[in-house]
Amino acid sequence: GQQVMQIPQYQHVQEGEDFTTYCNSSTTLSNIQWYKQRPGGHPVFLIQLVKSGEVKKQKRLTFQFGEAKKNSSLHITATQTTDVGTYFCAGQDGNQFYFGTGTSLTVIP
């Protein structure tokens, strides 16, 4: 079946440093979504990317979809303690969603 890998699995940064997580799919994706899960919480939808090479920004967060639609990245500029949590990508195949393994971000004040 479809596989979606994410790296790194864990990332510790000093507050103010940048952070990037990468998502790679074994197959071409029709679209990709990003979710954030706070510690002890549930995943919350952040954004969806559909077009090849698409770049979207949400304040300090920048999301990119690869040209081949097989990879994606999430970049956070100048991290804050509120950014703590696990970030998941998810690729859609028909009615199913394949989630990446997630990147757990710790921000050290």
Residues in the site for other proteins, rule: CB under 8 A?
Answer: 1, 4, 6, 9, 31, 33, 35, 41-45, 48, 88, 90, 92, 95-102
Q: How far is the CB of 95 from other proteins (least distance, A)?
A: 6
Q: How far is the CB of 31 from other proteins (least distance, A)?
A: 6
Cis-peptide into 109, omega within 30 deg? no
Q: How far is the CB of 50 from other proteins (least distance, A)?
A: 8
Strand partners, 106: 12
The tokens for 75 are 């970049």
Nearer residue to other proteins within complex by CB, 46 or 77: 46
Nearer residue to other proteins within complex by CB, 13 or 47: 47
Q: How far is the CB of 16 from other proteins (least distance, A)?
A: 28
Nearer residue to other proteins within complex by CB, 38 or 57: 38
> Phi/psi of residue 96, each to 5°?
-105, 150
